[in-house]
Structure 1
């Protein structure tokens, strides 16, 4: 663990100190709830979150708690927090790796803001860009183009969606559900809320652009609803490494 020494020793009231202790010691599910509790406290709670993020920023594997703390701080927009994030986490908590020289910072910021609809549109744009100039111009993807996606880039996109949805959204989540239903596409569409009975969910207004959506609901990138493209995505080597 790396301590960035971003703040002086915290002198906290007992109730805040208790929350801080629990944040350090409880299981992840409880930690995620404690982040919300600390945000409601105000500046003292934000100080605890900054301190925690400083201490745990280098942990592997990537922590959903760290991502949630980052987005809570990001959305608070207090001067001290803005300075802290700009100095130590200018691109969030997920390493924005790319083998295609693509900048994933705009996607990270939209997801941190929980603007899932805009993030979904940008995800499609980035995936078209990954597929090459022809796909970027036509604004949709052939399944044959998916096979050539760099593992690193797909993993970065997926990690961002996972990190900023408490593990609820992402291609790897959709793959997990797909495997759990025996690779049955109709069961997958139903489980992730892309189809109800014989009716496809209509884009964009019938989709749920919030964390209240079914697990695996996003990213949608509406052009991906053909079986060939999403099948190519879900069998990509990115999920085997």
Structure 2
């Protein structure tokens, strides 16, 4: 068997294995193993992503984020152009109750610019409740939270989840909160918003990379205490 055919079969076998993998760490490993085999391998990953998103229309999960992120960083012009052709608005073409454009947030998250993404998330949430650049405040009250549509809350949470390999997002924070019997102090400590009982100072004492504790980001108005997060964690979205 010649080398080209052997490499082709290796890629196909790895793709099949990847499609049936449910372990996040295994998915990351398999994508990397396939990716390093050159342009043919990257094309195979692109075909898998297109099949999942545009043909099968499967529910979004971490594999979609891993694939898109890897292909987004490809040095191949062909892959870059193909990615733009298949996904002109990014991996997800979102609808929004307030015509929020999520493509920029998606790009920041793919590029791991988490501090900028966190800031943009806060601005987006403010816009969703009717606060714009002319408003006297750029933070949320707990009474604002019900004004955020379920679709928009889902969009923002999904973006953070997909491009952090399920590490960040409101849903991650809420899961930790529920797992700790809704104990706020335990939540602050576990997600790294407090250290030795002392609240972290913004922005220098927060961790703006993927090595942060699970649930660390987005900060979601954390400097204003638990009322906003409580309203967020009790939003009707979670019961839909």
TM-score by length of 1: 0.88
- Paired residue secondary structure (1:76): coil
Greater mean deviation of Cα atoms: 165-174 or 95-104: 95-104
CA distance, structure 1, for counterparts of residue 130 and residue 22 of structure 2: 43
Partner of 1:5: none
Contact 2:84 2:90 in 1 (8 A): no
Contact 1:110 1:118 in 2 (8 A): yes
Aligned pairs for 1:54-73 (under 5 A) are: 54-57=50-53, 58-73=56-71
CA distance, structure 2, for counterparts of residue 163 and residue 136 of structure 1: 32
TM-score by length of 2: 0.88
Aligned pairs for 1:90-105 (under 5 A) are: 90-105=88-103
Aligned pairs for 1:40-55 (under 5 A) are: 40-55=36-51
| Alpha-carbon distance change, 26 to 205 in structure 1, aligned in 2, over 3 angstroms | same
Partner of 2:141: 142
The two structures, once aligned, show a CA RMSD in angstroms of 2.1
Q: How many residues align structurally?
A: 232
Partner of 1:194: 193
- Paired residue secondary structure (2:36): helix
Contact 2:194 2:200 in 1 (8 A): yes
CA distance, structure 1, for counterparts of residue 47 and residue 14 of structure 2: 13
Partner of 1:18: 13
| Alpha-carbon distance change, 190 to 135 in structure 1, aligned in 2, over 3 angstroms | farther
CA distance, structure 1, for counterparts of residue 221 and residue 75 of structure 2: 32
Greater mean deviation of Cα atoms: 181-190 or 86-95: 86-95
CA distance, structure 2, for counterparts of residue 67 and residue 221 of structure 1: 22
Contact 1:116 1:209 in 2 (8 A): yes
CA distance, structure 2, for counterparts of residue 222 and residue 125 of structure 1: 11
Contact 1:67 1:92 in 2 (8 A): no
Give per-residue Cα distances to partners, 1:145-174, cap 9 Å, x unaligned.
112111111111011111111111111111
- Paired residue secondary structure (2:147): coil
CA distance, structure 2, for counterparts of residue 214 and residue 136 of structure 1: 35
CA distance, structure 1, for counterparts of residue 201 and residue 231 of structure 2: 23
Query: What are the ranges of 5 or more consecutive residues in structure 1 without an aligned counterpart?
Result: 1-9
| Alpha-carbon distance change, 114 to 41 in structure 1, aligned in 2, over 3 angstroms | farther
Contact 1:128 1:136 in 2 (8 A): no
Aligned pairs for 1:45-194 (under 5 A) are: 45-57=41-53, 58-133=56-131, 137=135, 138-194=137-193
CA distance, structure 2, for counterparts of residue 118 and residue 32 of structure 1: 25
Partner of 2:236: 237
